Amino acid sequence: MDASPSDLPADGTSTSTVTVTVLDSDGDPVVGDTIAFSARLDDSTNGACGTLGGQRLTLGETLPVTNAAGQATATYTAGTSSAECYVEATDLTQGNTNEAIIYQGADTSDAPSVTQTLPASLAAGGAMSTFTATATNPSSTDIADARFDLYITGDSNGSAGVDASQLQLSYKDDATGGDFVNVPLTGSTANGGVIDGSIIPDTAESLGAGATRTATFELSLAAGAPDTATTGAPLQIETDLDNFNSADASQANLDRAGPAAVPVVQAPGDTVTFSGKFSDPDRRHPDQVHLHRRRHRQRRQNRLVHRKLHLHRFELSQRNRHGRSDLLRQRQHLRAEPHRLGHHRTHQNAERRDRNGHHHLD
């Protein structure tokens, strides 16, 4: 439940819209519950509250009932004096009561406030997104058991939505010692539903007079969760600052931030950076190509060397063969030389006999 705005001038005409949302245990909206609104003055302040619709002031007056979104509204009109006014909403069907505070006139300077800084988007299957909520109490009075309540809505008219089981939410602040603490979530955004989660208050979470308290949240969405393109609407995140009453588990809304849109996208796939070259079965690796070329050059040089060596050996063999032939001819010549010498001498002797008068028979 909340009032928007939660602070009004005491002019007798300014208005605030008070909205109560009724959900079942699964976080789905409850349709048709009858809601009765009422306003009362905070006992610690003076002045008078303004007027409020949705009250059973006369017999037979019709009270608002929750619509398809589980919501019922009433309009508060400011009074003419400074005051802090509680607006209560009672579900007459179930018997539950909740309330919000409206600061009127000069008391607006004492009104606590809450602000939130949300991520630009939320990636399904992506990393944690971080955002903050800051509450401020400008008054001179401590606010006991002050806590943050988060409400996440989305698709308002379709069956596709984000379920609480697909979200993980945790927070840290001074009270947790800087450690993140899980925040239980319930509900679904499908069919106009709401996912809600509360930071359970303790004494350290009271908001002191003049104090400011900041909580840091981490929110992640599981892979496969529907994105904005599927649901047709972004998630809406609202952070409320509530005053919790541990006696009856009721709470009074002090202020709210949002709802504000956070689109859901799908996380991109993994990117692998490769500095080399992809393998090609028809091509050798560059190193293999260089090695092959070196080996080819070496084999070619070896063949050239072998050819030169073979040619050199051939030339030597030719020289040796020609040398042996010359030697053989010389030897043959030497062998034939005595025969030629003997024949020459025989012929000389015959001529000498002829000259000396020796006759020979014909």
SS3 112: coil
DSSP β-bridge partners for residue 195: 152, 187
Helix segments in the chain, DSSP class H: 228-231, 286-356
The stretch 190-218 carries a mean pLDDT of 81
* Residue 31: Cβ within 10 Å count: 14
Q: Between these two residues, 124 and 346, which has the higher pLDDT value?
A: 124
Q: Is residue 353 predicted with pLDDT exceeding 60?
A: no
The pLDDT assigned to 293 comes to 73
Let me know: does 14 contact 8? Beta carbons within 8 Å.
yes
Secondary structure of residue 287 in the 3-state scheme: helix
| Residues recorded for the chain | 362
Please list the residues that pair with 17 across neighbouring strands: 4, 75
pLDDT at 81 > cutoff 60: yes
197 closest CA partner among 171, 160, 222: 171
Structure tokens at 288: 């293999």
Hey, CA dihedral for 341, 343, 345, 351, is it positive or negative?
A: negative
- Burial category of 265 from C-beta neighbours within 10 Å (exposed 0-12, middle 13-18, buried 19 and up): middle
**CA–CA distance, 190 with 156 (Å, rounded to integer):** 7
**3-class SS string, 37-97:** EEEEECCCCCCCCCEECCCCCCCCCCCCECCCCCEEEEEEECCCCCEEEEEEEEECCCCCE
Query: pLDDT (tens digit, 9 = 90+) per residue, 260-319?
Result: 999 999 988 655 565 666 555 555 556 665 666 777 777 777 777 667 666 666 666 666
